[in-house]
């Protein structure tokens, strides 16, 4: 048996509410396993209402939150503090205002001691991939929201993490920019063997991006359904209007409506 890329085994996470000083259960006994698929990559989407614990799962994998029970392993090793084997892209833009776009993308390489010439070559190659090479010497304040998020994605991908964690990274973007960013992530995934864990509360986005969807309950998060999405040969925006796509979307919506434990602002049609 091969070692999985990620093993999330019976994990429970609680945190202290600063107002009440009570321990709040955010994630309860959640288990899933993502196999290692060299040269393929995999997109796993967590769908659930806001505040249900989706982000807590990602932060626990990233090493940003301790777990109270269970086990998390990446390629067979227990997760520790944040490391280069895991990269995270947040909904909020995280560029350093005092660095140029290229310097932001190079930041992880600089910390790793990569020589300046190699850093520059690799960062420019990545900026070409995300269509930002013409903005390499600009500062983040000159960029649109979508461009800033592409900087964050480029910086994270350049470090080639085994597991890429994306916490509603397109939630604040307008629909046109959001569609473009979804396509960009799919393009980048197909060029690598990254495992991507993506959080959303939008049904259409989940079906469009995912190989596998886990539907989570309201807090504390528990897995209510697992849906294996069929492979769509065409991942252009037009696939969203095809009968095959609509069939998966309708199946998922039916499961959501039948599930009393899934409540909140799950959206349809973005």
- 266 domain-assigned: no
Residue 179's nearest CA partner among 146, 132, 155, 220 is 146
Give pairs for 248-257: CB < 8 Å, separation 24+. Answer: 248/207, 249/203, 249/204, 249/207, 251/227, 252/47, 252/203, 252/206, 252/207, 252/213, 252/215, 252/227, 253/203, 255/215, 255/224, 255/225, 255/227, 256/203, 256/215
Can you tell me the distance from the alpha carbon of 167 to that of 86, in angstroms, rounded to the nearest whole number? 13
Both 203 and 115 in one domain: the answer is: no
- 174 domain-assigned: yes
pLDDT at 242 over 80: yes
Cβ proximity of 52 and 223 under 8 Å: no
Handedness of CA 207, 212, 216, 221 (dihedral sign): negative
> Average pLDDT for residues 103-118, to the nearest whole number?
92
Both 87 and 108 in one domain: the answer is: no
Both 56 and 181 in one domain: the answer is: yes
> Average pLDDT for residues 76-101, to the nearest whole number?
88
Neighbouring residues of 92: CB distance < 8 A, sequence distance ≥ 6: 172
Note the Cα 163 to chain centre separation in Å: 9
Both 121 and 238 in one domain: the answer is: no
pLDDT of residue 1: 66
Both 74 and 11 in one domain: the answer is: yes
pLDDT of residue 270: 45
Both 178 and 246 in one domain: the answer is: yes
pLDDT of residue 259: 67
pTM, rounded to two decimals: 0.87
- 151 domain-assigned: no
Residue 170's nearest CA partner among 139, 140, 142, 205 is 205
Both 184 and 236 in one domain: the answer is: yes
Q: Which residue has the higher pLDDT, 241 or 199?
A: 199
Total structural domains in the chain?
Answer: 2
- 156 domain-assigned: no
pLDDT digits (tens, 9 = 90+) for 120-137: 999 999 898 888 999 999
Can you tell me the distance from the alpha carbon of 154 to that of 194, in angstroms, rounded to the nearest whole number? 13
In the predicted model, what is the mean pLDDT of the chain?
Answer: 87
- 180 domain-assigned: yes
pLDDT > 90: what percent of the chain? 47
Can you tell me the distance from the alpha carbon of 39 to that of 84, in angstroms, rounded to the nearest whole number? 19
Both 52 and 133 in one domain: the answer is: no
To 10 degrees, what angle do helices 175-190 and 145-158 make? 20
Most confident of 33-37, 61-65, 236-240: 61-65
Domain of 174: which CATH number?
A: 3.40.50.300
pLDDT digits (tens, 9 = 90+) for 41-81: 789 999 988 888 899 999 999 999 999 999 999 999 999 89
Domain that holds residue 104: 96-142
Both 129 and 44 in one domain: the answer is: no
Both 122 and 192 in one domain: the answer is: no
Note the Cα 19 to chain centre separation in Å: 30
- 91 domain-assigned: yes
pLDDT of residue 25: 94
- 268 domain-assigned: no
Q: Cα dist. 109→59, 199, 245 in Å?
A: 22, 26, 39
Both 175 and 85 in one domain: the answer is: yes
């Amino acid at each position: 048996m091969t070692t999985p890329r990620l093993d999330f085994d019976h994990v429970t996470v609680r945190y202290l509410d600063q107002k009440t000083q009570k321990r709040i259960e955010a994630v309860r006994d959640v288990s899933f396993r993502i196999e290692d698929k060299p040269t393929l990559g995999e997109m796993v989407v967590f769908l659930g209402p806001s505040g249900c614990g989706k982000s807590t799962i990602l932060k626990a994998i990233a090493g940003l939150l301790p777990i109270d029970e269970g086990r998390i392993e990446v390629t067979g090793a227990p997760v520790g503090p944040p490391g280069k084997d895991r990269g995270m892209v947040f909904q909020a833009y995280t560029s350093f205002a005092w660095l140029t776009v290229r310097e932001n993308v190079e930041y992880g390489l600089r910390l790793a001691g990569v020589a300046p010439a190699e850093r520059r070559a690799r960062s420019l190659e990545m900026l070409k991939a995300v269509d930002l090479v013409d903005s390499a010497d600009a500062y983040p304040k000159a960029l649109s929201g979508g461009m800033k998020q592409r900087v964050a994605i480029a910086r994270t991908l350049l470090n080639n993490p085994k597991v890429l964690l994306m916490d509603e990274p397109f939630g604040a973007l307008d629909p046109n920019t959001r569609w473009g960013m979804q396509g960009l992530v799919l393009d980048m995934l197909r060029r690598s063997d990254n495992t991507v864990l993506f959080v959303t509360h939008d049904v259409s986005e989940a079906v469009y991006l995912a190989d596998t969807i886990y539907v989570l309950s309201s807090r504390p998060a528990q897995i209510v359904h697992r849906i294996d999405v069929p492979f769509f040969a065409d991942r252009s925006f037009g696939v969203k209007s095809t009968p095959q796509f609509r069939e998966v979307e309708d199946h998922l919506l039916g499961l959501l409506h039948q599930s009393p434990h899934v409540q909140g602002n799950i959206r349809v049609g973005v």
